[in-house]
Each structure stands twice: as C-alpha cells, then as structure tokens.
Structure 1
Amino acid sequence: MNRKRFSALAIVIIISLLATAGCTGTSGTFAQPQVQPTLQHYPAVSINATPIQYAKVNGVTLGYREFGSGEPLLMLEGFGATIDSEWNATFIGILASKYHVYTYDHRGMGYSSDNNATPSISLYADDAALLMPALGYDSMHVYGVSMGSSVSQQLVIDHPERVRKLILDSVTYSIRIPQTKLLFDSINASAVDPAKPRGVHREAQANLAWNGSYDGLSGIHKDVMLVVGTADVMTPEPVTVQIAGQIKGSWLVRYKDLPHVGSHYAPVEYGKNALAFLGNNESPPYGG
C-alpha cells in the first residue's frame, strides 16, 4: 500500500469515527466524547458469567473464553493481566457483534497452567500460534494490547501464516528504549517483588529478556492498525508513530488525552475503531 493509499485510509477511518462516535480531532487524533453513545444495537456481554474452557497447547493448558460468532479474533492480554481483569465488557461486546472473539490467559496466569520452559516473548507467541489450530482455525485476526502487542508482533514475525489482520494497541518495539523507561522500571520492579505471583515474575523475566521487534517490523506484510492514546506514558505516542513508519501501509489511530490501554476508558470508540479496520477491504480491486 503506497503513501497515498495510507492517507486515504486514514481519512476514511477518521470520517467514520467522527460520524459514529461523536469525536472531534484532526490528523487521526480523537477526543473522548462527553456523552457515551448508545449501545442498544450491541449484544450484552457478561465476562465473568461466560464459562472457562481449556485447550492443551505447547506443553501447558490455556484457559479461554469465547464470545459472538463470525471470523475468529484472538485477544492477547497485557502484562500481569488475566481474562478476568483485562477486558472491558462493552469493548468485547462490540467486537463480538461481528466476530468470534477469544480471550485467553498467558501460560502461568489466571486459568492457564505453566511448565518449566524458560519464559520468553517468543514462547508466548508460539503458544498463541498453536492455540489457533487447537480452537479449529488455521489463522485468526489478532488484537494485542500492551505486553500482548509485544507477543503479537513476535507472533506475526515468527508465524505470519497464523495472522489475518493485526491490531497493536499500546505498543512498543522494545521496553529498553528511553521512551519506555517507566514501563521498564515497572516491569523490572515486578520481577523482584515477592508480593507478585509466580506468573507475573515469569512474564517480567520474558519481557526483560526480549530483544525487541524493530528489525522485523519492515518484514511484516499484513494489514496492521496501531492504536495509541496521546496521554500514554508507558508506551508513548512517538514510539507508535515510529512503528507505523516501519510497517508499510499500516493504519495509525491516536486518541486524544487517553492513557495506556485506552479501551478501558473509551470502549465504544475503541470497539468501533477495531470493527472499522477489521471490516475494511484492504486488497485491490478496492470497492469491488
């Protein structure tokens, strides 16, 4: 996709979001609306009432939930999170109105078991790649948030055949760059905090050992959207812009004044944004 096509897509998504969500902004930056849009046409989702299911994958058992129907969409949660704590019910409900949404816990977290394998971002990516056929799919759309976006980058680099479209939310290509010092300090502190559970220690170990994804970004040939809040101090906006510049034809959406993992604060806007991207035709002939 050339630069002109990128600009056209950016305009399309801006117009769509401004029309449907009542947002204001320019250059792909959206302000949080004062009045929450109606949710009448979206199905109600109760996350905690949705049963846990299990899949044996890569030497461990991963706990997951599923919502909705349609093309499959795999959600990858962030550092220290579980499927009970990460996902906003309104956000998941909007996604599930069009897609078969799967949320799952990384190994050693929440409902998922662990083994003695050395934790790494690549190992978590392998888990995601192997979970897909265990759920009955050769490939899935992928939505990664925070650490889940790191795993998602490694997934599309190591296992490109498993990824349809990719959304990277609150993303960095490394936790060891100056812009992500607060994130690095938080993860480093968690690694040695005796009050943290073993799963969090192992996730911290994986993040601290990660060499980053920068060298592989230009080799990503998938439809990718990057989402960031302009008030994100953990994975700041300039890092997302830098990643977008490396992935040819990627979409970049900025939400004005929203912090890290903005779907917790503006679930309707984030949900509709994801649907717009996932439902858009990215292959010529356009408009066919």
Structure 2
Amino acid sequence: MNKTIITSITLILTVCVLCIAGCTTAPAGTDSLDVVLADTPVPEISYNDTPVQYHEVNGVKLGYREFGVDNNEPLLMLIGFGKTMDHWNTTFIGILSENYHVYVYDHRGMGESTDADGQFTIAQLADDAAGLITALGYDSMNTYGVSMGSSVSLELLCDHPEKVRKAVLSSATYSANIPETKILHVLLLENAEGENVNTGVRKEAVANLEWDGCYDNLSGIANDVMLITGTADIITPQSVAVDIAGQINGSWLVRFKKIPHAGSSYAPEEYGRITTTFLEINESPV
C-alpha cells in the first residue's frame, strides 16, 4: 500500500491569524510535520540585475538565470503555462536561494528561449529540461514544477528519472483532459484556437491538450516526490493531487487552505519553507 505522507503544517505568527495558509489534518498512521517560518530576512533577488545566460539544448537556445549559493545542491524551476522565468515570485525564489543554487529558465518558444519549426510536445519539454541539466554540468538536479511545469516534471520523472534527485509538483495534474480539469481544458482550447495568441503560448496550449498524461506510469516513479496543492485551486483541483500522491509510493502531499492555483505567488514564504524542508530531509532508512 502506498505510503502517502499528508503533511500537517503549523504556521505561526501572523500567518495563522490571517489564515493565508492552512493545513490538512494528518489521519491516523501518517506522519505530521511542523514548519516554522524563520524570523529572518528573505534574501533579495532581482531579475533585472541578474543576467540571462544561454545553453544550446536539443536544437534550441534556452535562456536561464541563476541565483543562490554556489554549491552542488542545484534546484531547477519549471514554470507553468504561458509564463516566463521572470514570473516566479521573487520572495519565493529568494527563500529557495538561501540553501540552493536555483536555476530558472524559459521553455522553448517563450521569453528568452528560441524555438524550432513545428509543434512541440510535453515530452520534448521534458527532454529540454534533462538536456539543460546536463548542459549546466550536473548529472541530476532537484526540480520544482508548477502547473504545466509539473506536467513537464512528471514526464521528466518517467522518461529521465536519473536526472531528478527530489521533485516538487505544485498545482499538478496528470492530464488536462480529465473531468476534474475542465476549466483548465477550456482555457487551453481558447489559447490553442484563439486569434492573436502568442505563438509560444499557442504551442504550449496544444502540447498540453495533446499530452496523453502519464497516469499509468505514476506507480513506477521511485524518486522522492512532494505534491503541493491549494484547497481553492479550481484549475487543477486538490483531488487530482490526492490521486497522484496515492499512485506514487512514499510521496508527500501538502495542502494549503484557501490558496488558489500556483500558490507560491500567494504564499511564497510558506511554499518556500515547506519546499526547503522537503528537500533537506534525509528519507533514507536508518
């Protein structure tokens, strides 16, 4: 039976008072974990002051920025649908950069990254992520994916598991074509078929709609995985994260009360601290 850890988060100080992030009660027999927000300044980062660098990967040029300490604990950030690397919340990235060498990048056809002719796929985007990890000089990295970035991360876990140390999947789904994600499906159709839609956004929409998903492969994922979901997410509802967590043996599941889709933009400190906690814990048997 899969051991899904439903993490109960106790957030102190004003966070509890304002109820911006909440908890799911851990059922009997599961582990709980308290995350305390450190009363320390968050490192400031600036996209404008951080130069874009480039690597040739799979026939395209991927633009990226890097932040944080110069050590061998890298963290690759996979952004969501229609967004570029500068859309990551700076407080969130600042927290992660306290202990990790953080890389943010643009998917092919978006922002600073170039594209090739023809339609790309989610599997191609996963190949790009694997290729970028290699190009940056690493055998593997920790990864954090949000929304479409989580879909790319799931494909990466299935196609290139050796490239992933630990994976965080935020606002995840295993398909955009299931009943639970009907709002997402409509949004993607509008961007795939609408007029005056950016070419890169249109291709991302098509790639998501054509992705068959990877539900049948979830049980084969052996990497350490944490899913983060918000109870107010109507784009990729929490029930989908629960389903995915139930399929990945030993995965973590963290739910934030009243947080909508892509919650790191709404509760960056809480998302940053729980991500750091997950990445730092040694889950090897004693």
Normalization by structure 2: what TM-score?
A: 0.90
Q: Which residue of 2 aligns with 1:109?
A: 110
1:237-276 equivalences under 5 Å are 237-276=238-277
- Tell me how far 1:39 sits from its aligned partner: 6.3
For structure 2, the residue ranges without an aligned partner over 5 or more in a row are: 28-36
Q: Which residue of 2 aligns with 1:175?
A: 176
- Tell me how far 1:253 sits from its aligned partner: 0.2
**Structure 2 counterpart of 1:14, from 3, 8, 29:** 8
- Tell me how far 1:28 sits from its aligned partner: 5.8
Structure 1: how far apart are the matches of 2:276 and 2:114?
32
Structure 1: how far apart are the matches of 2:118 and 2:77?
23
Structure 2: how far apart are the matches of 1:275 and 1:242?
24
- Tell me how far 1:50 sits from its aligned partner: 1.2
- Tell me how far 1:127 sits from its aligned partner: 0.3
- Tell me how far 1:27 sits from its aligned partner: 1.7
Structure 2: how far apart are the matches of 1:84 and 1:284?
39
**Structure 1 counterpart of 2:78, from 57, 72, 76:** 76
Normalization by structure 1: what TM-score?
A: 0.89
- Mapped contact 2:172–2:236 kept (Cα < 8 A): yes
- Mapped contact 2:24–2:256 kept (Cα < 8 A): no
Structure 1: how far apart are the matches of 2:152 and 2:39?
31
- Mapped contact 1:125–1:154 kept (Cα < 8 A): yes
- Tell me how far 1:186 sits from its aligned partner: 0.1
- Mapped contact 2:22–2:257 kept (Cα < 8 A): no
For structure 1, the residue ranges without an aligned partner over 5 or more in a row are: 30-36
Give SS of 1:184's match.
helix
Q: How big is each residue's C-alpha offset from its partner over 1:32-53, in whole Å with a ceiling of 9 and x where there is no partner? A: xxxxx67643311112321110
Letter in 1 for 2:51: P
- Tell me how far 1:150 sits from its aligned partner: 0.2
Structure 2: how far apart are the matches of 1:189 and 1:2?
37
1:107-146 equivalences under 5 Å are 107-146=108-147
- Tell me how far 1:2 sits from its aligned partner: 6.2
Give SS of 1:84's match.
helix
Q: How big is each residue's C-alpha offset from its partner over 1:194-217, in whole Å with a ceiling of 9 and x where there is no partner? A: 221110111111111100010110
Kindly tell me the number of residue pairs found equivalent between the two proteins.
270
Give SS of 1:259's match.
coil
Letter in 2 for 1:279: E
Structure 1: how far apart are the matches of 2:38 and 2:251?
30
Structure 2: how far apart are the matches of 1:188 and 1:79?
13
Aligned Cα root-mean-square deviation (Å): 1.9
Q: Which residue of 2 aligns with 1:207?
A: 208
Give SS of 2:43's match.
coil
Letter in 2 for 1:250: S
Structure 2: how far apart are the matches of 1:278 and 1:38?
17
- Mapped contact 1:28–1:252 kept (Cα < 8 A): no
Give SS of 2:94's match.
helix
1:57-96 equivalences under 5 Å are 57-69=57-69, 70=71, 71-85=73-87, 87-96=88-97
- Mapped contact 1:75–1:103 kept (Cα < 8 A): yes
- Structure 1 segments, 4+ long, off by >2 Å, are 17-26, 37-42
Give SS of 1:18's match.
coil
Structure 2: how far apart are the matches of 1:253 and 1:168?
10
Letter in 1 for 2:79: E
Query: CA 1:208/1:24 → structure 2, altered by over 3 Å: closer, same or farther?
Result: closer
1:141-156 equivalences under 5 Å are 141-156=142-157
- Tell me how far 1:59 sits from its aligned partner: 0.2
Give SS of 1:206's match.
helix
Letter in 2 for 1:77: I
Q: How big is each residue's C-alpha offset from its partner over 1:242-280, in whole Å with a ceiling of 9 and x where there is no partner? A: 000000010000000110001111000000010000000
Give SS of 2:81's match.
coil
